[in-house]
Structure 1
Amino acid sequence: MRILIWHVHGSWTTAFVQGPHTYVVPVTPGRGPDGLGRARTFDWPDSVVELPPERLRDAGIDLVVLQRPHEYDLVRRWLGRRPPMVYLEHNAPHGCSPGVPDTRHPVADLPGDVPLVHVTHFNRLMWDAGGAGTTVIEHGIVDPGPLWTGEVPHAAVVVNEPVRRGRTTGTDLLPTFAHAAPLDVFGMGTDGLAGHLGLPPGRCRSHELVQKDLHAAMARRRLYLHPVRWTSLGLSLLEAMHLGMPVVALATTEVTEAVPPGAGVVSNRIDVLTDTVRDFVADPLHARMVGEGARAAALARYGLTRFLDDWERLLKEVTR
């Protein structure tokens, strides 16, 4: 099967393209948002091919994975026809009006029958999809291996643009956590974060690493801290669990499903979370034991084979 998919979410797509198909990603001059082409910081197989929009009509596309509302019109313009489609929603609703519980999903207003695929059950619960058929295919992770050493007694945090995103990513909570343990914050737009938070650099260090270096750097830290208030389900949390890191996380969105007892501590009490951070820093053997539980849980629920099998069943159903 030849599947058209835009390069929108590099981490998720890295798992998806491990399947048995040919994956066609649009590429445009300048590699703008509608034509990023192949990833440059993720390891994608040769089955992912770049094509400019003007060549897509003759590319033999069998199915399209939409991820943004305007892609529906791009398909009609670039392909001149409407192959079978599914709409993949990565995010939880984040509207101000009429409010999250009443936020209507764009797929509800698309013509035709376009199935909506959510990555978490929380997202499915929160979006109003109208009469669109919906399903959930939970995340899958390309296993980086049990790399955790925990030799650096710091907490790792992975977040992009923490200053701009503010309370959404729990940036305002970082000074409190920084009193419990030094923080190493990885992600784009983290430069100058310590100064923005009024913290000395030794309590909050910023790192902008490409993906291939990120896992090794995370795994050297004692624990993974997930202070995010509102997101779908951060893939960095699942990657940290695969690495064998103990996790400390807010009990928001899908986190309580992803982190079972024995894999870390999940709570909305900041005092409980900061005490746990201190405990992991002070007791590396305990951190190792909990991290092993985190890895086992992540492999069982978010393993790549289950993910690809779930998608294969859906793709066959949509194209039959």
Structure 2
Amino acid sequence: MNILVWHVHGSWTTAFVHGKHRYLVPVTPDRGRYGLGRARTYPWPDAAEEVTPEQLADEDVDLVVLQRPEELELASGWLRRQIGRDVPAIFVEHNTPKGDVPHSRHPLADRDDLLIAHVTHFNELFWDTGATRTGVIEHGVVEPTTDYTGELERLAVVTNEPVRRGRVTGTDLMPRFAQVAPLDVFGMGVAGLPDLLGLPHERVTPHDDVPQSRMHAEVARRRVYLHLCRWTSLGLSLIEAMVIGMPVVVLATTEAVAAVPPQAGVLSTRVDTLVDAARWLIEEPTAAHRLGEQARAVARTRYGLDRFLADWDRLLEEELCASR
């Protein structure tokens, strides 16, 4: 099957293109947000091929996987076909709703020409999609090649744009954990964190835009992984940390309460409980390793790449058959 899919969410797309199909990934001269092309910091298989918008008009595309509403118009123009009518389409909803959440209407609600595939059951519950068909395919991750050591008595966070996003990413909570142990924050847009929080670099150290393979190796050396997001779909970095074998301390919001059962980490909406848990794991490396092994077992079972790809193959075939 030839599948048109944009490179949007790095970890998710990396898992998706590891399937058995041919993946056509748009590329533009500026490698901008609608033409990023193949990943440069993630290992992708040869089945993911870069194609220009001009080349797409001559490609035999079987199905389009969309991740942003505006991709509908782009795909129609580039393929010169009506998306959802001439070629089947699946829209992957990665995000939680914004604004007046209980009444959040999905931008693709009440459509009969595509299916919305949510990445979490929480998302499907909270988005109002009207009459549009929906389904859920939970995340899968390419298993990191590194293992947890926890040799450094430091805390690790992986998040993007914590300076700009603030309370959404739990940036305001970081100083409380930095009192327990030095905090290393990996991701894009993290450079200004020490100044924002009024803390020295020794307590909050930003690691801006580190390549994934190196980031996994560095994160695995830290004693504890923190997931402080108040409102997010489900951070793939959290799952990757669990697969590495890290003990995780997690704010009990959105899908995290399902992704991290009690035996696999410490979850709470009470920040004091999480601070105490971080202190305990910093001071007790044996307990940290034991909790990390439980996290690894849970994540490998629930978020394994084989399960993820099998679920997607089933959905892709169903949509392709239904369109014929």
Report TM bin, short chain: over 0.9
User: Structure 1, residues 16-60: CA drift from partner, whole Å, max 9, x if none?
Assistant: 001000000111111111111111111100000011101112111
Residue 145 of structure 1, CA deviation: 4.3
User: Structure 1, residues 90-137: CA drift from partner, whole Å, max 9, x if none?
Assistant: 101112xxx111111122155x42010000000000100010111000
1:291 aligns with 2:274: no
Q: Distance in 1 between matches of 2:32 and 2:235?
A: 24
User: Gaps (5+ residues) in structure 1?
Assistant: none
Query: In the alignment, which residue of structure 2 is the partner of 1:160?
Result: 160
Q: Output aligned runs, 1:140-289, within 5 Å.
A: 140-145=140-145, 147-208=147-208, 209-289=210-290
Q: 1:142 to 1:203 in 2, by over 3 A?
A: same
Contact kept in structure 1, 2:156 and 2:184, CA below 8 Å: yes
Contact kept in structure 2, 1:145 and 1:242, CA below 8 Å: no
1:316 aligns with 2:320: no
Tell me, what secondary structure is at the counterpart of 2:65?
strand
Contact kept in structure 2, 1:146 and 1:295, CA below 8 Å: no
1:33 aligns with 2:33: yes
User: Structure 1, residues 41-98: CA drift from partner, whole Å, max 9, x if none?
Assistant: 1110000001110111211100000111111111211111131110100101112xxx
User: Gaps (5+ residues) in structure 2?
Assistant: none
Q: Distance in 1 between matches of 2:276 and 2:76?
A: 55
Q: Distance in 1 between matches of 2:192 and 2:8?
A: 27
Residue 146 of structure 1, CA deviation: 5.7
RMSD (Å) for aligned C-alpha atoms: 1.0
Contact kept in structure 1, 2:92 and 2:116, CA below 8 Å: yes
Q: Distance in 1 between matches of 2:87 and 2:291?
A: 47
Query: In the alignment, which residue of structure 2 is the partner of 1:59?
Result: 59
Residue 192 of structure 1, CA deviation: 2.8
Tell me, what secondary structure is at the counterpart of 2:262?
coil
* Sequence identity (%): 60
1:92 aligns with 2:96: yes
Residue 212 of structure 1, CA deviation: 1.8
- Which residue type is aligned with residue 11 of structure 2? S
Q: Distance in 2 between matches of 1:302 and 1:121?
A: 14
Contact kept in structure 2, 1:162 and 1:169, CA below 8 Å: yes
Tell me, what secondary structure is at the counterpart of 1:87?
strand
Q: Compare 226-235 and 101-110 and name the one that shifted more.
A: 101-110
Q: Compare 70-79 and 134-143 and name the one that shifted more.
A: 70-79
Query: In the alignment, which residue of structure 1 is the partner of 2:122?
Result: 122
User: Structure 1, residues 233-279: CA drift from partner, whole Å, max 9, x if none?
Assistant: 00000000000000001000000100011211000111110000000
Tell me, what secondary structure is at the counterpart of 1:116?
strand
Which of structure 1's runs of 4+ aligned residues deviate more than 3 A?
none
Residue 210 of structure 1, CA deviation: 1.2
Q: Distance in 2 between matches of 1:25 and 1:241?
A: 29
Q: Distance in 1 between matches of 2:137 and 2:244?
A: 22
Contact kept in structure 2, 1:226 and 1:248, CA below 8 Å: yes
Tell me, what secondary structure is at the counterpart of 1:165?
helix
Tell me, what secondary structure is at the counterpart of 1:106?
coil
Q: Distance in 2 between matches of 1:108 and 1:272?
A: 39
Tell me, what secondary structure is at the counterpart of 1:64?
strand
- Which residue type is aligned with residue 85 of structure 1? A
- Which residue type is aligned with residue 93 of structure 1? P
Q: Compare 293-302 and 68-77 and name the one that shifted more.
A: 68-77
Q: Distance in 1 between matches of 2:299 and 2:245?
A: 9
Q: Distance in 1 between matches of 2:180 and 2:29?
A: 47
Q: Normalising by structure 1, report the TM-score.
A: 0.97
Q: Distance in 2 between matches of 1:150 and 1:173?
A: 22
Q: Distance in 2 between matches of 1:101 and 1:75?
A: 31
The aligned length equals: 316
Tell me, what secondary structure is at the counterpart of 1:107?
coil
